[in-house]
Structure 1
Amino acid sequence: MAIKDWYKVTFLIESDLEEIIIWQLNELGIFSFSFEYLIKNESKKEVNIWLPIDAWDESSRIGFEKIISKLLNINNQHNQFFDWNIIKEEDWLNSWKKYWSPELVGNNFLILPCWINLDEKFKDKQIIKIDPGAAFGTGSHPSTYLCLEKMENISFSDKKVLDIGSGSGILSVAARLLGAKEVCAVDNDYLAINSTNSNFQLNFGNSNNLNTYLGSFNELILQNQLKQFDFVLCNILAEVIKEMIPNIYNCLRNDGEVIFSGILNSQKDEIIKILIQNDLKLLGVSTRKDWACISAQKASGPI
């Protein structure tokens, strides 16, 4: 495998702009990032983003700066400075490690970086071990937190679960920990599929009960590979969710449920409207910071 080096780009933001920056990075397909409070000024945060050098030429980097600067200018933050540094492949994981620590999610889950030993005080938690090498989702983002929080109050025992946009596989691992008999994970990025498989094996020692599919969810539905699920987990962007809702309805069994996350509060009413139009009954909405999580059900009879 070829050695891959990385750009690490750093810039400062006002603390209350974290969520809109996360949204923009997700829109750009960027998932390797962290936020740090400044010790001397807690009203600001340092944003650190890791980008593979071979995918980010000078034109792409200039375009990235323009997009972020425009977003910050709209939110009254001006005079933006971007610091670009090269991180060698061998320093990649160490560069990540200092931003990671065990994280409690909801009442029962603990997200545990794979190199950290479990503290005795957390032994009664549901442990989700994650290797951040590919950095596709750590549980710290509010949308992932909301999804896990919703999941811990649901019985997955002997259920068939579909994870759309699996990323790191964190939701797939959680579903299996909660008793799912079969987990199917879909992502259109082969790195995400590799990460899902790796983290599943990290937690369970094998990939039993896990099926992964590389490709577009809507295309896979047309191939008739995905059907009769008890639960669908969908933690991606709202604009993508809107296009998937009709096919999500088709892959659920009667009375099957879906959990949507990755939705900004400003977008939730539109998503709910589309759910109702597609005969999915609203079960609940939870929020965290600027983000919303929506659960719905395919009713066996008229809604």
Structure 2
Amino acid sequence: MEVKDWYKLTFQIESDSEDIIIWKLNDLGIFSFSFEYLIKNENKKEVNIWLPINEWDESSRNNFEEIISKLINIDDSKDKFFDWSTIKEEDWLTSWKKYWAPELVGNHFLILPYWINLDEKFKDKKIIQIDPGAAFGTGSHPSTYLCLEKMDNILFSDKKILDIGSGSGILSIAARLLGAKEVFAVDNDYLAINSTKSNFQLNFGNLNNLNTYLGSFNEVILKNQLKQFDFVLCNILAEVIKGMIPNIYKCLKNNGEVILSGILNSQKDEIIKILIQNDLKLLDVSTRKDWVCISAQKTSDPTKL
């Protein structure tokens, strides 16, 4: 079995730059990262990013430094801003796990790292156990939080759910905990599909009522004729969401709802405009930090039947 070692990249940012860093890391397909408050200066945070050594040569690392430098407007030539170190595979989990802690979301959810014992005071919560492996985050991203918070106030009992960009499977698990009858999870990354199935198994002891599909959403929907969903959940980047909205409309049943997250506040108006253009009625907009969650509904239209 191949041993995978890691680069750990560390640098400091102003606290108000956290959201734009998260957005860029997601845009680049980087999901193994953490932010730590600095005790001596609460206006700054330390960013830690883990990258597989065999995928990041010197040129790639230099390019990445340039991207981050331009993003937050710093000049690394004046001072050593980026600190690179290496971590052996056997030290990976120890390095990663120390940044995890149980997290309450909304009124009923608790995201629980699988290796942490449940505290008695949380036994009345809906527990989402997560093992992200080395490829996915903890579920504490503001866009994930917003999506779970929105789901917390919806009746999913006996509903048919589609989770687009399932990642670690956190939204699929939440839907099933809320009573969903059948969950369909789509992702274009085989690691994500494996993670979705693994975490679903971790929470329910089986894969009953879970259907997974590897590939892009638009291709999967057409190939498998997936339709008549009560709810569509989509927590990915806004630029990707825009091209999916016409097919999201098609796969919803009449009066079905879509919950979109992963959208920056500056992108909100454009997404709402596209939803309306595709006959999806705006229901709600919620925000957390600079991130937005939008819900909309497919209303019956006799002219389209």
Distance in 2 (alpha carbons) for counterparts of 1:9 and 1:89: 16
| 1:302 Cα offset (Å) | 6.4
| 1:210 Cα offset (Å) | 0.6
| 1:6 Cα offset (Å) | 1.1
Q: Give yes or no for contact 2:235–2:260 (8 Å, CA) kept in 1.
A: yes
Partner of 1:195 in structure 2?
195
Q: Secondary structure of 2:137's match?
A: coil
Q: Give yes or no for contact 2:33–2:137 (8 Å, CA) kept in 1.
A: no
Answer with 240-249 or 86-95: which moved more: 86-95
Partner of 1:228 in structure 2?
228
Structure 1 residue identity aligned to 2:214: L
Q: Give yes or no for contact 2:5–2:52 (8 Å, CA) kept in 1.
A: yes
Partner of 1:93 in structure 2?
93
Distance in 1 (alpha carbons) for counterparts of 2:256 and 2:139: 25
Runs of 4+ with >4 A deviation: none
Q: Secondary structure of 1:223's match?
A: helix
Q: Give yes or no for contact 1:8–1:50 (8 Å, CA) kept in 2.
A: yes
Partner of 1:132 in structure 2?
132
| 1:227 Cα offset (Å) | 1.3
Structure 2 unpaired stretches of 5+: none
TM-score by length of 2: 0.96
State, as a whole percentage, how many aligned pairs show the same letter. Answer: 85
| 1:43 Cα offset (Å) | 1.1
CA separation of 1:7/1:74 partners in 2, compared to 1, >3 Å: closer, same or farther? closer
Q: Give yes or no for contact 1:11–1:80 (8 Å, CA) kept in 2.
A: no
Partner of 1:32 in structure 2?
32
Partner of 2:121 in structure 1?
121
Q: Give yes or no for contact 1:134–1:195 (8 Å, CA) kept in 2.
A: no
Distance in 2 (alpha carbons) for counterparts of 1:91 and 1:287: 37
Q: Give yes or no for contact 2:182–2:209 (8 Å, CA) kept in 1.
A: yes
Partner of 1:290 in structure 2?
290
| 1:228 Cα offset (Å) | 1.2
CA separation of 1:220/1:301 partners in 2, compared to 1, >3 Å: closer, same or farther? same
Distance in 1 (alpha carbons) for counterparts of 2:21 and 2:244: 24
What CA RMSD, in Å, does the superposition of the two structures yield over aligned residues?
Answer: 1.5
CA separation of 1:74/1:62 partners in 2, compared to 1, >3 Å: closer, same or farther? closer
Distance in 1 (alpha carbons) for counterparts of 2:135 and 2:109: 19
Structure 1 unpaired stretches of 5+: none
TM-score by length of 1: 0.96
**1:182 is aligned to 2:186:** no
Q: Give yes or no for contact 2:254–2:300 (8 Å, CA) kept in 1.
A: yes
Q: Secondary structure of 2:157's match?
A: coil
CA separation of 1:59/1:123 partners in 2, compared to 1, >3 Å: closer, same or farther? same
**1:172 is aligned to 2:180:** no
CA separation of 1:94/1:225 partners in 2, compared to 1, >3 Å: closer, same or farther? farther
Q: Secondary structure of 2:224's match?
A: coil
Q: For 1:136-178, what per-residue CA distance to the aligned partner results, in whole angstroms no more than 9, with x for missing partners?
A: 2322110000000000100110111010000000000000000
**1:262 is aligned to 2:262:** yes
Q: Give yes or no for contact 1:166–1:172 (8 Å, CA) kept in 2.
A: yes
* Pairing of 1:140-151 with structure 2 (within 5 A): 140-151=140-151
Partner of 1:18 in structure 2?
18
